[in-house]
Structure 1
């Protein structure tokens, strides 16, 4: 790696960084997806030529992403649906109050004194 990037011809810092990241990403992909198959077919271990000293910092997360389980997805979207229903109920309540301002939010059996005493004014 060092010989390739230190060879003839000047390269800008960002160009070198982009090329190193591209090479590293390609080998990370090979390691994650095809390492077993390459080892069985050719008997070679896939290893990135970009060592720890030449690898740029903050250039990506190469861990294998495991999708969430069905239970986690149901819980996540269930909370979202519940929040949406609450928002819809609040909007409907506000719209009804805007359309019918004379209708009270409280039952007719409650007097204004009861509302003030309980803090529901």
Structure 2
């Protein structure tokens, strides 16, 4: 039997993290999502004291497309969620799953100290239990 408390976020996270500038357009973000196959991108910090943001496919659909806004004119920083919730890489996956459930999110950037080192999704959290 798998001991969930022994599996750390760093054991299941994805690297490298695909990021985008807050000054990029939503069209550029959508193109990057299509190219990488990811449904969310971490928005880069302006400086080390700044928080990371995140833009998801849902943000693009609900905040831009549904409102009829032009993808090529809206900036990522106008529709992203910031600050985004992050998790330290040494936390166990049970904690990460609880955090995601409580916040109603499906992806969680992973930090090692002040550095972005990965991202974990709900799918990543269940892989140890179902195989790859």
Q: TM-score, normalised by structure 2?
A: 0.22
Q: TM-score, normalised by structure 1?
A: 0.23
Higher helix residue share: 1
Q: Over alpha carbons, which structure has the higher Rg?
A: 1
Higher strand residue share: 2
**Larger RCO (alpha carbons 8 Å, 6+ apart):** 2
